[in-house]
């Protein structure tokens, strides 16, 4: 199994890059994993206490579970990943998603390149580099339309945690990337280059 890690700031276009590669290679050949599914769960905390957590910090993610699941897939076994509900800041207690092993696995998330243990599992490391003004606009649209947030709460979170955590952890992790793709899925050359690398692997050209 070839494991590709795609990191970058919020709204950078990480998922678009992953989807473009999957469309080119075929969904039957690729297992997609979002780091967002691995937010830590705090069932004993009140909603007010959950709101106070910094969800943009690397420690907000259960990366040990992510690594465990990557190892299972690499061994040819299925993995049952958690389902996270952003509207209530909690994992589903009754639902998981079964992932099957495939020749290619794509792991996408904010801190995929920051965590040393996750990074050690990656064969190709990608960083999606997009202008901050574009990223924040995408974040506003996503959080309001998909996660039930208000514009005010998105704005406050961006200033309090999103931008500081990006500057402190995400941007510096770019140094670990094998490939940097500016503007995410809109960069056809970068996406094609990544797809070609994976196609070569599928065809047995591993060098």
Give the closest residue to 32 by CA, choosing from 99, 103, 91. Answer: 99
pLDDT value, residue 133: 78
Domain count, the chain: 1
Strand, helix or coil for residue 10:
coil
The pLDDT of residue 136: 78
Residue 206 lies in a domain: no
pLDDT at 132: 77
Q: Which residues contact 135 (CB under 8 A, 6 or more apart)?
A: 9, 10, 11, 12
Domain that includes residue 85, residue range: 2-201
| Rounded to 5°, angle at Cα 84 from 38 and 51 | 95
Q: What is the mean pLDDT of each run of 10 residues along the chain (207 residues)?
A: 93 89 91 96 92 92 97 97 90 92 96 96 93 79 80 83 93 95 80 88 69
Q: Is residue 99 part of a domain?
A: yes
* 87: in domain: yes
Instruction: Specify the pLDDT at position 205.
Output: 64
Does a structural domain hold residue 88?
yes
- The pLDDT score that the predictor gives to residue 73 is 97
Residue 122 lies in a domain: yes
**Can you tell me the distance from the alpha carbon of 24 to that of 118, in angstroms, rounded to the nearest whole number?**
25
Q: What is the pLDDT of residue 206?
A: 54
Q: Is residue 207 part of a domain?
A: no
In a domain, 114, yes or no: yes
Residue 6 in any domain: the answer is: yes
Give the residue carrying structure tokens 């941007």.
171
Here the CATH number for the domain that contains residue 64 is: 3.40.50.300
The confidence score (pLDDT) of residue 65 equals: 97
Whole-prediction pTM value? 0.88
């Amino acid at each position: 199994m070839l494991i590709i890690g795609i990191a970058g700031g919020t709204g950078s276009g990480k998922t678009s890059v992953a989807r473009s590669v999957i469309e080119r290679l075929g969904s039957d050949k690729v297992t997609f994993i979002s780091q967002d599914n691995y937010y830590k769960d705090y069932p004993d905390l009140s909603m007010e206490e959950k709101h106070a957590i910094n969800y943009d910090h690397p420690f907000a993610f259960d990366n040990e579970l992510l690594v465990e699941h990557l190892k299972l897939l690499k061994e040819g076994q299925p993995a049952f990943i958690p389902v996270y509900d952003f509207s209530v800041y909690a994992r589903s207690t009754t639902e998981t998603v079964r992932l099957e092993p495939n020749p290619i696995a794509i792991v996408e998330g904010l801190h995929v390149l920051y965590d040393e243990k996750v990074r050690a599992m990656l064969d190709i490391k990608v960083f999606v580099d997009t202008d901050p003004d574009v990223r924040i606009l995408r974040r506003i649209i996503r959080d309001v339309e998909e996660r039930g947030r208000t514009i005010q709460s998105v704005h406050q979170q961006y200033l309090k945690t999103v931008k500081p955590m990006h500057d402190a952890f995400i941007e510096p992790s770019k140094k670990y990337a094998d490939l940097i793709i500016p503007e995410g899925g809109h960069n056809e050359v970068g996406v094609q280059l990544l797809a070609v690398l994976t196609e070569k692997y599928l065809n047995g050209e591993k060098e």
